[in-house]
Amino acid sequence: MKTAPRFASRGVKLALAALAAMTVLSALVGFLWLPRVQPDFMQGGLWDAICRAAGVPSSWSTPSLSQEDRDATRVAMVPLPATYAGGDVGRGGTLALRCTMCHGARGVSASDVPNLAGQYPEVVHKQLLDYKNAHRAHALMQALSENLSDQDLRDLAAFYAQLPRPAPAPESVAVPAVVSVGDPLRNIAPCASCHGGIDRKPGSPWLEGMPQAYLAAQMRQYASGARRNDPHGVMRNVARQMKPQEIDAAARYYASRAIVGAHPEAPR
| Alpha-carbon span 150 to 129, nearest angstrom | 8
Long-range CB contacts (< 8 A, 24+ apart) of 93-100?
93/159, 95/148, 95/152, 95/155, 95/156, 95/159, 96/156, 96/159, 96/160, 98/144, 99/144, 99/156
Site membership for ligand HEC, residue 103 (CB under 6 A): yes
Site membership for ligand HEC, residue 189 (CB under 6 A): yes
| Residue closer to ligand HEC (CB basis): 195 or 257 | 195
Q: Binders of ligand HEC: how many residues, by CB under 6 A?
A: 39
- From the list 4-12, 83-91, 162-170, 198-206, the region that binds ligand HEC by CB under 6 A is 198-206
Q: Which residue in the set 133, 142, 180, 193 belongs to the binding site for ligand HEC (CB under 6 A)?
A: 193
Site membership for ligand HEC, residue 205 (CB under 6 A): yes
Site membership for ligand HEC, residue 178 (CB under 6 A): yes
Terminal Cα-to-Cα distance of the chain (whole angstroms): 105
Q: Which residue in the set 27, 50, 110, 144 belongs to the binding site for ligand HEC (CB under 6 A)?
A: 144
Alpha helix (H) residue ranges in the chain: 6-27, 46-53, 67-72, 89-95, 100-103, 121-132, 139-145, 150-162, 177-180, 212-224, 234-241, 244-255
| Residue closer to ligand HEC (CB basis): 119 or 266 | 119
Site membership for ligand HEC, residue 98 (CB under 6 A): yes
| Alpha-carbon span 12 to 88, nearest angstrom | 80
* Interface pattern 237-266 for ligand HEC (x via CB under 6 A): -x-----------x----------------
Site membership for ligand HEC, residue 163 (CB under 6 A): no
Site membership for ligand HEC, residue 229 (CB under 6 A): yes
Q: Which residue in the set 108, 117, 128, 266 belongs to the binding site for ligand HEC (CB under 6 A)?
A: 128
Name the CA dihedral angle for 117, 120, 125, 126, rounded to a multiple of 10 degrees: -130
The answer to whether 231 and 73 are in contact (CB under 8 A) is yes
Smallest gap, in angstroms, from Cβ of residue 220 to ligand HEC?
A: 10
